[in-house]
Amino acid sequence: MSDTYELSCDCGHVSMTANGSPKLSLYCHCGSCRELYSADMLSGTGWANDHVELPEQSELVVYKINDKQMTRYGCPKCGMIMYGVHKPGIPIIPHAVFRKANGGKLPAALAPTLHLFYADRVIDVDDNLEKCDDGSVIGL
């Protein structure tokens, strides 16, 4: 039986669903993700397009970094970032969205498996996950 994640923003205005398992779950330290998500590192999952039901883009706040072909989507009422799309072109849903739907805890099935672009980090992370200096391990 596959997992179904019913997700919503802080105010409940925007909702979406993710089904099954993500293609990847990781931490990304690249400058582009730090800029797009306004965070010291991205903690998130990447999903196949046929495993997510995303809200209509017309219902969302859209922010693009055109020179990097990266876009994030958020709630127009509470401002919560719901997901982003960037290389390799799949929806990236921040772990915070899953934690919100799961009582503050990340479901074990979504635990990160590695760090990407660790050489570009702005904070050190002391864990046992593989730390890759680029994105080649996932084909970037």
Is residue 54 within 8 Å of 97, Cβ to Cβ? no
Domains of the chain: 4-102+113-122 (2.170.150.70)
pLDDT 10s digits, 42-98: 999 999 999 999 999 889 999 998 788 899 999 999 999 999 998 778 999 999 999
CA 12 vs CA 7, 15, 27, 85: distances in Å = 9, 7, 26, 22
pLDDT 10s digits, 84-125: 998 778 999 999 999 999 999 999 999 999 999 999 999 999
pLDDT 10s digits, 122-131: 999 999 999 9
Please report which residue ranges of 1-140 form alpha helices under DSSP H: 31-37, 95-101
Instruction: Kindly tell me if the per-residue pLDDT of 1 is higher than 50.
Output: no
Instruction: Kindly tell me if the per-residue pLDDT of 36 is higher than 50.
Output: yes
